[in-house]
């Protein structure tokens, strides 16, 4: 039994690591555009800071009314489309 658990656990951890790396390093231009639309409806916000982690992406935009933070997360950490919410910085 122990012989079967170690390889399966190792494979699971490698898969989760690969999914986390994909969340950080994959092209996120569509997610960034969605966040940009949430930051400001009637203006063209400028991206001032970007933070990516395996759990979420954080976009800080400079707008005429000040800095706006938009956080985008997947509903199941590694799976599903990104859902973005405007937050206070």
Lowest mean pLDDT among 18-22, 30-34, 38-42: 38-42
Q: Please state, for a pLDDT cut of 70, what percent of the chain lies above it.
A: 98
CB atoms within 10 A of CB 45: 22
Indicate the number of domains in the chain. 1
DSSP alpha helices (H): ranges in 26-62? Answer: 29-39
Predicted TM-score of the model (pTM): 0.86
Q: Which residues contact 74 (CB under 8 A, 6 or more apart)?
A: 23, 80, 81, 82, 83
Query: Closest Cα to residue 69, out of 53, 54, 47?
Result: 47
Residue 20, domain extent: 2-87
């Amino acid at each position: 039994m122990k012989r079967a658990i170690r390889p399966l656990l190792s494979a699971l951890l490698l898969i989760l690591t690969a999914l986390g790396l994909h969340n950080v390093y994959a092209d996120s231009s569509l997610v960034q555009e969605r966040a940009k639309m949430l930051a400001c409806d009637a203006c063209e916000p400028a991206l001032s800071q970007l933070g990516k982690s395996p759990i979420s992406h954080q976009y800080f935009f400079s707008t005429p009314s000040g800095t706006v933070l938009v956080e985008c997360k997947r509903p199941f950490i590694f799976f599903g489309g990104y859902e973005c919410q405007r937050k206070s910085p």
